[in-house]
């Protein structure tokens, strides 16, 4: 169901294709300054997660934030949303996936699109630290995939009361293969460079970590992600973790924000029948925009829409 009553996204005239919307905020956009406390929390497998906490100490809701592939809590979309939440009186806590913070994590495994066990560690920490506050969540791209999976796994028992995803992938295999075509091929080296560097650091800790000798993200998931996290291969990983299969099982209010022009995670891969029939899900599908990037006039449409929906 389309979310009613929200301002439509109006693209600036010069953002004439999706790639401008995708690249401009990351490379040229401003990042709001937010004062956060960096803390570490322990995981059950003797590892740690790095969190950036912005606590308003006012009893209002606290929002968990999940970044995308090779992102962090310091990415523009996380920091700018934290700022907007602060303006509205919300507290927030941004999770750095394993190895994405200031330190490389201790265990052999790192993170992937379906690592909801680490989400559960964060949710438990939030329940202990803020037992009386409402708890919401927002996930971007890969972080949105795992958020949907988390919501589907726990259904009505999920500790989060409301959630939003932005530009989430719904079919990981199709999305991965999609990056091998057209202009999308330009994004792949950016991700691979960071992933290969991280795998090399992990190999210094664990010499048996496989050596990557592929050329695509599919290859990386097949050679590195899958074996490090207990999957048979890339296809097994994708089949197990793709968010589309969990949409029908979501039992908490969830807003999906996605551009129809997004070429990195195309909206066409979404399970539209499940989106229509699940009464807990609302959608804002814009005619223009990019992947986690919406260069609009007036500015800040994305974060205003997220916060207004959380308040509604």
Within a domain: residue 142?
yes
Within a domain: residue 78?
yes
Domains contained in the chain, number: 1
Q: Burial, 159: exposed, middle or buried (Cβ in 10 Å; 0-12, 13-18, 19+)?
A: middle
Average pLDDT (131-150) is 98
244: confidence class by pLDDT, cuts 50, 70, 90: very high
Within a domain: residue 207?
no
Average pLDDT (213-237) is 98
Cα distances (Å, whole numbers) of residue 79 to 11, 106, 169, 219, 293: 22, 26, 22, 31, 14
6: confidence class by pLDDT, cuts 50, 70, 90: confident
- For 267-312, the pLDDT digits (tens) are 999 999 999 999 999 999 999 999 999 999 999 999 999 999 999 9
- Could you tell me the pTM of the whole model? 0.97
Domain region containing 260: 18-171+242-311
pLDDT at 4 over 80: no
Within a domain: residue 163?
yes
Average pLDDT (43-55) is 98
User: Can you give the CATH number for the domain in which 54 is found?
Assistant: 3.40.50.1820
Whose tokens are 């310091």? That residue is: 74
Within a domain: residue 228?
no
| Cα 141 to Cα 75: distance, rounded to the nearest angstrom | 13
| Cα 275 to Cα 153: distance, rounded to the nearest angstrom | 17
pLDDT at 100 over 80: yes
Show Cβ contacts of residue 184 under 8 Å, excluding neighbours closer than 6 positions: 178, 263, 264
Within a domain: residue 286?
yes
SS3 211: coil
Catalytic site positions: 141, 262, 291
Within a domain: residue 276?
yes
pLDDT of residue 36: 98
| Cα 135 to Cα 302: distance, rounded to the nearest angstrom | 20
pLDDT of residue 22: 97
pLDDT at 55 over 80: yes
Within a domain: residue 176?
no
How many degrees, rounded to 5, is the angle at CA 55 between CA 252 and CA 53?
80
């Amino acid at each position: 169901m389309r979310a009613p009553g929200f301002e439509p996204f109006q693209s600036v005239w010069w953002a004439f294709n999706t790639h401008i919307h995708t690249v401009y905020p990351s490379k040229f956009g401003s990042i709001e300054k937010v004062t956060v406390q960096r803390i570490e929390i322990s995981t059950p497998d003797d590892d740690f997660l790095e969190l950036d906490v912005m606590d308003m100490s006012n009893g209002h809701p606290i929002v968990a934030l999940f970044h995308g592939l090779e992102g962090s809590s310091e990415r523009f979309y996380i920091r700018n949303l934290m700022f907007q939440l602060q303006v509205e009186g919300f507290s927030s806590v941004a999770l750095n996936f394993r190895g994405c913070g200031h330190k490389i994590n201790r265990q052999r495994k790192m993170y992937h699109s379906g690592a909801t066990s680490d989400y559960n560690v964060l949710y438990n920490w939030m329940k202990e630290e803020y037992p009386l506050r409402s708890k919401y969540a927002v996930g971007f791209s890969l972080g949105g995939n795992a958020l949907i999976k988390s919501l589907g796994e726990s259904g009505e028992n999920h500790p989060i009361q409301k959630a939003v995803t932005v530009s989430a992938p719904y079919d990981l295999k199709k999305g991965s293969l999609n990056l091998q075509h057209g202009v999308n091929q330009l994004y792949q080296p950016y991700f691979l460079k960071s992933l290969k560097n991280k795998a090399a650091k992990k190999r210094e800790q664990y010499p048996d970590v496989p050596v990557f000798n592929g050329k695509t993200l599919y290859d990386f998931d097949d050679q590195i992600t899958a074996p490090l996290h207990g999957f048979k291969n890339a296809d097994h990983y994708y089949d197990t973790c793709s968010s589309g299969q969990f949409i029908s099982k979501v039992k908490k209010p969830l807003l999906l924000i996605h551009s129809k022009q997004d070429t990195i995670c195309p909206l066409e891969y979404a399970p539209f029948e499940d989106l229509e029939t699940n009464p807990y899900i609302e959608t804002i599908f814009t005619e223009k925009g990019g992947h986690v990037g919406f260069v609009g006039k007036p500015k800040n449409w994305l974060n205003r829409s997220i916060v207004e929906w959380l308040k509604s």
